[in-house]
Amino acid sequence: SQQGEEDPQALSIQEGENATMNCSYKTSINNLQWYRQNSGRGLVHLILIRSNEREKHSGRLRVTLDTSKKSSSLLITASRAADTASYFCATVYYNTNAGKSTFGDGTTLTVKP
């Protein structure tokens, strides 16, 4: 299965600390994406990293990709209470034009003020 698996399942930190979430997958990918979901809402795209990239930054977010280990990490620096949400990685592979994304079960992040 292509499914990404996030680790840990739940993470609780204090405001200002860094939060690191990991994602592992099983087969080749074209790219990997991270999404955020507030409770009961749709998913919001955070960042995309292509299979030939190793690191990408966006604001307080830093994503790494190690295709040899089939893993990715999402680092949120200087966390805020508003970062409390579930975070999902999605692996994307293409055998059709639709480029189906396969999501893991997510990491639930709680940032305490």
Which parts of this chain interact with other proteins (CB under 8 A)?
3, 30-31, 33, 35, 40-45, 48, 50, 88, 90, 92, 94, 96-106, 108
Bridge partners (DSSP) of residue 107 are 87
For 99, the 3-state DSSP assignment is coil
Nearest distance, CB of residue 16 and other proteins, angstroms? 27
Closest to other proteins by CB, 1 or 113: 1
Nearest distance, CB of residue 53 and other proteins, angstroms? 11
If we measure between CA atoms, which residue out of 33, 31, 30 comes closest to residue 6?
A: 33
Nearest distance, CB of residue 71 and other proteins, angstroms? 17
Give me the amino acid identity at 4: G
Integer Cα distance of 2 and 58 in angstroms: 25
